[in-house]
Chain A
Amino acid sequence: MSNLTEIRWHGRGGQGAKTAALLLADVAFQTGKYVQGFPEYGPERMGAPITAYNRISDTVIRTHSNIYDPEYVVVVDESLLEAADVTAGLRKEGAILINTSRRKEEILPHLKGYEGRVYTIDAHKVSMEAMGKYFPNTPLLAAIVKVTGLMDEETFLREMKASFSHKFASKPEVIEGNMAALEMAFKEVQ
């Protein structure tokens, strides 16, 4: 179990937190890992808080419960810093990644004294500059890969390109923007 990485995603319905968790499971699978990516739904409606989870391991994963003491947390929507207990159970040797345009110093007071590493990325800025539309999960996916060190940048980008080429076979024009968002996000994580 020592090689097990557990990640919890906090988002709002419709923002793609579940999709991001599934994409991370996808790319980790491509590098030979055992993976789990799954959502936890409350009421099914746009804008309601949702949680998604990842387990990534070198060995078979059998546990089918939610994750209560994650190594990493990703906050897709910073309004959840107030609305949800995002640092609950978060291990101090782990890290939290927050999608925000604010400076890290402004975020820290909202983290209930969390002692681990804190990272921020402005996924809105990255998404708009690279794709012209707001899809926060693409930049956040790259950012969490960097934060966790699950794989190196080169491997990640290669696997994502293959994945996008397959996924967007019918609309190849969006592949370039998505790839640009991933590359930019790798640099923008703070």
Chain B
Amino acid sequence: MAKRDRLSGNEAVAIALRQINPDVFPAFPITPSTEIPQYFASFVANGQVDTEFIPVESEHSSMSAAIGASAAGARSLTATSSCGLAYMWEELYIAASNRLPLALALVNRALSGPININCDHSDSMGARDSGWIQMYAENNQEAYDNMVQAYRISEHKDVRLPIMICQDGFITSHAVENIELLEDREVKKFVGEYCPENYLLNPECPMAVGPYSITDYYMEAKRNQAEGMKHVSQVVLDVAKEFSSISGRSYGLFEEYRMEDAERAVVMIGSAAGTTKDAIDRLREKGEKVGLIKIRLYRPFPASEIAEALRNVKAVAVMDRAEGYTNQGGPLGADVMSALYRARGNALAVNYIYGLGGRDVRVEDMEGVFEALKQIMEEGDAGETYRYLGLRE
């Protein structure tokens, strides 16, 4: 039986982790993710989990310890935000290239500077090419559900890659909202025991992790890593299907909201998607054909599937909660536009930068984006494709 509760996004992820009971959790605090290890530490103290909880002196160390534990054969994870993720940079690549299926509970926060504690996606977007799987959430429920599904995806024998479970700092991490939790035993059964095939602490089969690779082998190693990424989408869908049977909640690579006959669409990631749904409902009442594609799986990028979902759309706004400094827009904009080009899509596309450093996004803001798309559609010209939403002038 599911249990109805009201929790913040951080509490929800901490509870998912209690239910999973991982082997090793090294952690160093940083706002707004601090509450995840904080709640988890109380579960350790209360004997509700038998996880080895390691308070370390930096994020460089927390990720290093999680990597060491994973290489040894343990199910490990850590949590962080913003500059904490930046301090893990080298280790992110090491985790991915060693094919270690560990998890990172990331609570998205702007990267300095200026110093800012609030939400944008500049931290995780910088790590988009590190070889990690990245999943994003609209609300506390999705953050919880994604965490429960995380290890089933990352530990899958065809994948074996680390996974980043992202949610929006403060907006979902610190907002108390309704949620439905699964029973502890249901989660334990769904996630299962971790039985790695190869691991350092196996005296029967000695192995090396992270050795030097000469030029002769380096490219083959990287191509193998990419092969793991190729299997992620199918595994995500398979795991989601099974998850739906225990939770009643369905997930895909992305969510399509009122896209059936949509002429105008927004593509975005995270909590502002909920706000956009309310804008869409208002406009639909006036007969406007508008819809939303909300990205759940961002790495690997479901390019052909998104291009297909946009096939009949005439104008699309891709929303980036991070600057790309390409003079063209942000990373999601580049990914979606490249997907449209490859699929010979006809949609006129623009890219908005929005919500940096926690800049609020209102229903009216998103109605404004759909209004701009209407003009683009009518004129048959995208005009300036690199735009800012809600910028004071």
- Listed in ascending order, the chain A residues whose CB lies under 8 Å from chain B are 22, 25-26, 29, 34-41, 44, 60-66, 68
CA distance A160 to B188 in the complex (A): 33
CA distance A73 to B278 in the complex (A): 24
Q: Cβ of B183 < 8 Å from any Cβ of A?
A: no
Quick check: which of B48-56, B64-72, B324-332, B357-365 contacts chain A, the rest being far away? Answer: B357-365
Contact check, B176 vs A64: say whether CB atoms are below 8 A apart. Answer: no
Contact check, A62 vs B274: say whether CB atoms are below 8 A apart. Answer: yes
CA distance A66 to B171 in the complex (A): 9
* Known A-B contacts A25-B6, A26-B176, A38-B175; A63 and B363 likewise in contact (beta carbons under 8 Å): yes
* Known A-B contacts A62-B275, A66-B360; A35 and B174 likewise in contact (beta carbons under 8 Å): no
Which of these, B6, B31, B274, contacts A64 with CB under 8 Å? B274
Contact check, B175 vs A29: say whether CB atoms are below 8 A apart. Answer: no
Contact check, B275 vs A22: say whether CB atoms are below 8 A apart. Answer: no
- Nearest chain A CB to B76 CB, angstrom units: 30
Contact check, A38 vs B174: say whether CB atoms are below 8 A apart. Answer: yes
CA distance A68 to B365 in the complex (A): 13
14 A-B pairs within 8 Å (CB atoms) are namely A26-B6, A26-B176, A38-B171, A39-B174, A41-B118, A41-B170, A60-B178, A64-B175, A64-B272, A64-B274, A64-B361, A65-B361, A66-B360, A68-B362
> Which residue of chain B has its CB nearest to the CB of A54?
B176
CA distance A43 to B272 in the complex (A): 23
- Listed in ascending order, the chain B residues whose CB lies under 8 Å from chain A are 6, 31, 117-118, 139, 168, 170-172, 174-178, 271-272, 274-275, 277-278, 360-363
CA distance A65 to B139 in the complex (A): 12
CA distance A63 to B361 in the complex (A): 9
- Nearest chain A CB to B365 CB, angstrom units: 8
Given known contacts A38-B170, A40-B170, A44-B117, what 17 new A-B pairs fall within 8 Å (CB)? A25-B6, A25-B176, A34-B178, A35-B6, A35-B176, A35-B177, A35-B178, A36-B177, A39-B170, A41-B117, A44-B31, A63-B274, A63-B275, A64-B272, A64-B275, A65-B363, A68-B362
> Which residue of chain A has its CB nearest to the CB of B31?
A44
CA distance A105 to B7 in the complex (A): 40
CA distance A146 to B175 in the complex (A): 24
> Which residue of chain A has its CB nearest to the CB of B271?
A64
> Which residue of chain B has its CB nearest to the CB of A44?
B117
* Known A-B contacts A29-B6, A44-B31; A65 and B360 likewise in contact (beta carbons under 8 Å): yes
CA distance A34 to B139 in the complex (A): 14
* Known A-B contacts A44-B31, A66-B360; A61 and B117 likewise in contact (beta carbons under 8 Å): no
Contact check, B176 vs A37: say whether CB atoms are below 8 A apart. Answer: yes
- Nearest chain B CB to A134 CB, angstrom units: 24
Contact check, B178 vs A29: say whether CB atoms are below 8 A apart. Answer: yes
- Nearest chain B CB to A143 CB, angstrom units: 20
- Nearest chain B CB to A163 CB, angstrom units: 11
Which residues from chain B contact A26 at a C-beta distance below 8 Å?
Answer: 6, 176
Contact check, B176 vs A36: say whether CB atoms are below 8 A apart. Answer: yes
Which residues from chain A contact B277 at a C-beta distance below 8 Å?
Answer: 62
Which residues from chain A contact B362 at a C-beta distance below 8 Å?
Answer: 65, 68
CA distance A167 to B336 in the complex (A): 47
CA distance A136 to B173 in the complex (A): 25
Which residues from chain B contact A66 at a C-beta distance below 8 Å?
Answer: 360
Contact check, A37 vs B175: say whether CB atoms are below 8 A apart. Answer: yes
Which residues from chain A contact B360 at a C-beta distance below 8 Å?
Answer: 65-66
> Which residue of chain A has its CB nearest to the CB of B173?
A38
Which residues from chain A contact B178 at a C-beta distance below 8 Å?
Answer: 29, 34-35, 60
CA distance A60 to B179 in the complex (A): 11
- Nearest chain B CB to A40 CB, angstrom units: 8
> Which residue of chain B has its CB nearest to the CB of A18?
B174
- Nearest chain B CB to A113 CB, angstrom units: 25
Q: Which of A29, A62, A66 has the most CB of B within 10 A?
A: A62
- Nearest chain B CB to A190 CB, angstrom units: 30
Which of these, B118, B172, B177, B275, contacts A65 with CB under 8 Å? B275
CA distance A152 to B6 in the complex (A): 21
Which residues from chain A contact B174 at a C-beta distance below 8 Å?
Answer: 38-39
- Nearest chain A CB to B12 CB, angstrom units: 14
- Nearest chain A CB to B108 CB, angstrom units: 13
- Nearest chain A CB to B256 CB, angstrom units: 16
- Nearest chain A CB to B47 CB, angstrom units: 16
Which of these, A34, A35, A36, A63, contacts B278 with CB under 8 Å? A63
CA distance A65 to B274 in the complex (A): 9
CA distance A37 to B178 in the complex (A): 10
Which residues from chain B contact A41 at a C-beta distance below 8 Å?
Answer: 117-118, 170
CA distance A64 to B177 in the complex (A): 11
* Known A-B contacts A35-B6, A39-B170, A68-B362; A62 and B176 likewise in contact (beta carbons under 8 Å): no
5 closest Cβ pairs, A-B complex: A38-B175, A62-B274, A29-B6, A64-B271, A37-B176
> Which residue of chain B has its CB nearest to the CB of A38?
B175
Which of these, A35, A61, A62, A64, contacts B171 with CB under 8 Å? A64
Which residues from chain A contact B168 at a C-beta distance below 8 Å?
Answer: 64
* Known A-B contacts A63-B363, A65-B361; A38 and B278 likewise in contact (beta carbons under 8 Å): no
